[in-house]
């Protein structure tokens, strides 16, 4: 592959775990086509794996270090060029480096970690104990830029327009005269994928839009209006509400819900694909999906399912079961990049600016069994929250906001009556990629207003609470 540089990422394992991924020493001796040594940046686990090979010592920390720390820079050249001393970095590790390999020196430390960043004296090898790739590390982006551009000599010449042209050409080449189907959810990713493919191959794309019974208020109608009436895409809309809800009856375990929804989706989708094939007299050979890079990372693990955080049904399932070749134009992109591409392709802001919505929909926002009644309550609560966010101009300031219905009843009072009804949780987070997130500091008055409306307007809810946990350690969805 002749890379310009190598980043050894962090990971969920400890280097001491059985079967933990180990680094082949050859990676540390690589040279580039001009004969210069290949630069390496090890992050957290990557640093530990690299340092061990080089003769350093890694040990479990007494206490797992998690959260913010101030970085004190001992050598500002190279990796830390322009990074302010004392800037915030995000730590998340159980093991740490306790002895440097020979020829390595410390280039930064924190109050808790005497070895927070290292550099080799011999080769362009660097390591950081903290996570520059998360937004909470203030100068993380600059640090990665310093490594990629300054140390590795890469250029930043990726543009949206060049991406769109390249992908359209690639799609045409791959697809030839064949037909493609795409599972449209109305979310940003599949919507942008649909329009990109439509531009590339026109009516040889057919989108299948399934009502899985766990969509938000008004969504089923809105999505059809946008894609069929506005974009004139070939759209097959299948209302399978009863099938999904019947199968979800009495199921509380979130992973089971995901599997049921995933399997039912495959069935419904398969049937729809067959119908399309009969109508067109030609079996679609390709399946396009709006899979993003974070879906890929969170759904795969180096070894077995142990570190799979959640089974995102849009990644697994469909391709294996349906025997299609898969087209995933955004597999290496993050959501903000896909939004940019959507804008370039002329998608309305209502779609590109839309908050992410999980494939298993409201089923993972009802803690406990999903019923038609609980869905009706949650839809109303969610709609009020979103409507108020839009009205107050706050919608675009958060990554995602939604309501969650808890299987907990508490006492309330309405008029002179005692009530015993459900708790509704409101969740709003800020994030750039959904991989880490912080709870959004929404104004008190706004939250008070939303709470009032929900508790007063919705029968079945007498209490609203606001979630103040960050990811990690919490996740965005409650499940
Ligand atoms: P978590 O809850 O894992 O969510 O912190 C991270 C982001 O992913 C979304 N999410 C999903 N998106 N299919 C999707 O397309 C899914 O199965 C799924 N599960 C979670 C979640 O809404 C958040 O934006």
Q: How does pLDDT run along the chain (479 residues), one tens digit per residue?
A: 889 999 999 888 888 888 888 899 999 999 999 999 999 999 999 999 999 999 999 999 887 778 889 999 999 999 999 999 999 999 988 889 999 999 999 999 998 899 999 999 999 999 999 999 988 899 999 999 999 999 999 998 889 899 999 999 999 999 999 999 999 998 999 999 999 999 999 999 999 999 999 999 999 999 999 999 889 999 999 999 999 999 999 999 999 999 999 999 999 999 999 999 898 787 888 999 999 987 777 666 554 433 444 444 444 455 566 678 999 999 999 888 999 999 999 998 889 999 999 989 999 999 999 999 999 999 999 999 999 999 999 999 999 999 999 999 999 998 888 999 999 999 999 998 788 899 999 999 999 999 999 999 999 999 999 999 999 889 999 99
Alpha-carbon Rg for the chain in angstroms: 25
- The fold for domain 6-151 equals Rossmann fold (3.40.50)
Which atom of ligand 1 is closest in space to residue 312's alpha carbon?
17
The pTM of the full predicted model, rounded to 2 decimals, is 0.76
Q: Is the CB of 434 under 6 A from ligand 1?
A: yes
Query: Which residue lies with its CA nearest to atom 12 of ligand 1?
Result: 358
* CB 197 within 8 Å of CB 167: no
Q: Is the CB of 476 under 6 A from ligand 1?
A: yes
Same fold, 6-151 and 371-466: no
Q: Is the CB of 262 under 6 A from ligand 1?
A: no
Q: Domain spanning 371-466 has what CATH number? A: 3.30.300.10
Closest CA to 432 of 331, 362, 356: 356
Q: Is 133 a catalytic residue?
A: yes
Pairing of strands 125-128, 40-43: parallel
Q: Give the separation between CA 335 and CA 187, rounded to whole angstroms.
A: 11
* CB 353 within 8 Å of CB 396: yes
Burial class (CB in 10 A: 0-12, 13-18, 19+), 308: middle
Cα 435 to middle of ligand 1, angstroms: 9
Q: What is the largest CA-CA distance in the chain?
A: 83
Catalytic residue among 13, 44, 152, 424: 44
Q: Is 154 a catalytic residue?
A: no
Q: Is the CB of 312 under 6 A from ligand 1?
A: yes
Catalytic residue among 54, 65, 133, 388: 133
Cα 364 to middle of ligand 1, angstroms: 10
Q: Domain spanning 160-352 has what CATH number? A: 3.40.50.620
Cα 186 to middle of ligand 1, angstroms: 15
Count CA within 13 A, CB hemisphere, residue 317.
22
Helix axes 372-391, 444-457, angle to 10 degrees: 150
Q: Is the CB of 477 under 6 A from ligand 1?
A: yes
Domain ranges within the chain, ordered by starting residue:
6-151, 160-352, 371-466
Q: Is the CB of 335 under 6 A from ligand 1?
A: no
């Amino acid at each position: 592959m002749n890379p310009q540089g190598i980043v050894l990422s962090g990971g969920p394992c400890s280097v001491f775990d059985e079967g933990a991924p180990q680094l082949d020493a050859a990676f540390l001796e690589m040279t580039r086509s001009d004969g210069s040594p290949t630069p390496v940046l090890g992050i957290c686990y990557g640093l530990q794996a690299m340092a061990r090979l080089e003769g350093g010592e890694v040990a479990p920390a007494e206490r797992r270090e998690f959260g913010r720390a101030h970085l004190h820079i001992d050598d500002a050249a190279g990796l830390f060029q322009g990074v302010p001393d004392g800037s915030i970095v995000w730590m998340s590790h159980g093991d740490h480096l306790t002895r440097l390999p020979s020829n390595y020196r410390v280039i930064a430390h924190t109050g808790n970690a005497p070895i927070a960043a290292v550099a080799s004296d011999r080769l362009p090898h660097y390591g950081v104990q903290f996570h520059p790739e998360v937004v909470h590390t203030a100068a993380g982006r600059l640090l990665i830029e310093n490594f990629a551009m300054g140390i590795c000599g890469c250029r930043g010449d990726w543009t949206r327009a060049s991406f769109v042209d390249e992908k359209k050409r690639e799609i045409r080449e791959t697809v030839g005269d064949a037909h493609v189907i795409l599972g449209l959810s109305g979310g940003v990713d599949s919507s942008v994928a649909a329009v990109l493919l439509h531009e590339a191959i026109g009516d040889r794309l057919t989108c299948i839009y399934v009502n899985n019974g766990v969509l938000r208020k008004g969504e089923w109608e809105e999505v059809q209006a946008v894609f069929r009436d506005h974009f004139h895409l070939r759209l097959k809309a299948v209302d399978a509400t009863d099938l999904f809800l019947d199968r979800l009856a009495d199921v509380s375990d979130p992973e089971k819900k995901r599997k049921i929804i995933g399997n039912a989706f495959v069935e419904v989708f398969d049937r729809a694909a067959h119908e399309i094939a009969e109508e067109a007299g030609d079996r679609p050979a390709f399946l396009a999906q709006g899979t993003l890079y974070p879906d890929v990372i969170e759904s795969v693990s180096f070894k077995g399912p142990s570190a799979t955080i959640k089974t995102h049904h849009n990644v697994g399932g469909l391709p294996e079961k349906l025997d299609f070749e898969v087209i995933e134009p955004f597999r290496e992109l993050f959501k903000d990049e896909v939004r940019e591409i959507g804008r370039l392709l002329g998608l309305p802001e209502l779609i590109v600016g839309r908050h992410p919505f999980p494939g298993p929909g409201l089923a993972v926002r009802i803690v406990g069994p999903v019923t038609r009644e609980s869905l009706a309550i949650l839809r109303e609560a969610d709609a009020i929250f979103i409507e108020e966010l839009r009205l107050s101009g706050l919608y675009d300031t958060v990554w995602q906001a939604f309501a969650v219905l808890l299987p907990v009843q508490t006492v309330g009072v309405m008029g002179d009556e005692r009530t015993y009804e459900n708790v509704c949780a409101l969740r709003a987070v800020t994030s750039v990629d959904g991989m880490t997130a912080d709870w959004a500091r929404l104004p008190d008055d706004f939250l008070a207003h939303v709470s009032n409306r929900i508790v007063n307007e919705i029968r079945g809810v007498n209490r609203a609470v606001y979630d103040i946990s960050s990811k990690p350690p919490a996740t965005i969805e409650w499940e």
